[in-house]
Amino acid sequence: MNPSPNLFLVGPTGAGKTTIGQRLAAHFGLPFVDLDVEIASRYGDTVTAIFKREGEAGFRSRESAHLDEFSRHQGIVLATGAGAVLDPLNRDALISRGTVLMLGVDVDEQLDRLRDDGTRPMLAGDDRRGRLQSLADNRNHLYEDIADLIFHGRHEGVDSALPRAIALLERHWKRC
């Protein structure tokens, strides 16, 4: 495990990277950064609008630049976007600059959590289950490959999941 003051959260859409990340940051007294929020803020537009205007490649380029910048900070909790792991350079940066916590979630739980969410460009279309399953098939091994720790959701609320996540980190996260 990488002894680092940084904690990087990876995982599929709807896994809780933002919600759990904010609470972990508060618990450990660290600043929280949501990569998608930072990108949207810097460019004065939503992730969905950036995707529409520049395509996935344009968005991924911005994402990589911001991931490189924020992963160089010391002592942060950083929630990546679900697709950030697609770029090998992003994976290398995450592995070398912090402890990587994968938040795992199954497709049924994703569907439940995202049922009213129409803001995620990678979920556009009619067959959400099929899209989520395809994303899982293509990305889960990447999350697992770079993860120092894996935290699996149990179809539970944040208030139930958070103490388990904190306990996992307190047992294994070696902050320098």
Domain ranges of the chain: 7-171
Query: Is 126 labeled as ligand-binding?
Result: no
CATH homologous superfamily of 7-171:
P-loop containing nucleotide triphosphate hydrolases (3.40.50.300)
Query: Is 48 labeled as ligand-binding?
Result: no
Position with higher pLDDT, 70 vs 157: 70
User: What whole-number distance in Å separates Cα of residue 63 and Cα of residue 35?
Assistant: 7
The answer to whether residue 73 scores a pLDDT higher than 90 is yes
Mean pLDDT of 152-173: 88
Query: Is 131 labeled as ligand-binding?
Result: no
Position with higher pLDDT, 118 vs 132: 132
The answer to whether residue 69 scores a pLDDT higher than 70 is yes
Query: Is 14 labeled as ligand-binding?
Result: yes
User: What whole-number distance in Å separates Cα of residue 89 and Cα of residue 159?
Assistant: 34
* Overall pTM surpassing 0.85 (yes/no): yes
Query: Is 46 labeled as ligand-binding?
Result: no
User: What whole-number distance in Å separates Cα of residue 85 and Cα of residue 69?
Assistant: 15
What integer pLDDT is reported at residue 109 of this predicted model? 82
Query: Is 120 labeled as ligand-binding?
Result: yes
Query: Is 127 labeled as ligand-binding?
Result: no
Beta strands, E only, 60-161: 77-79, 99-104, 149-152
Mean pLDDT of 62-69: 96
Overall residue count recorded for the chain in this entry: 176
Query: Is 99 labeled as ligand-binding?
Result: no
The answer to whether residue 122 scores a pLDDT higher than 60 is no
156 DSSP 8-state letter: -
Structure-token pair, residue 112: 């439940």
Phi, psi of 147 (to 5 degrees): -75, 130
The answer to whether residue 8 scores a pLDDT higher than 70 is yes
The answer to whether residue 148 scores a pLDDT higher than 70 is yes
Position with higher pLDDT, 171 vs 123: 171
User: What whole-number distance in Å separates Cα of residue 86 and Cα of residue 127?
Assistant: 22
How many CB atoms sit inside 10 A of residue 54's CB? 15
Identify the sign of the CA torsion 7, 13, 19, 22: positive
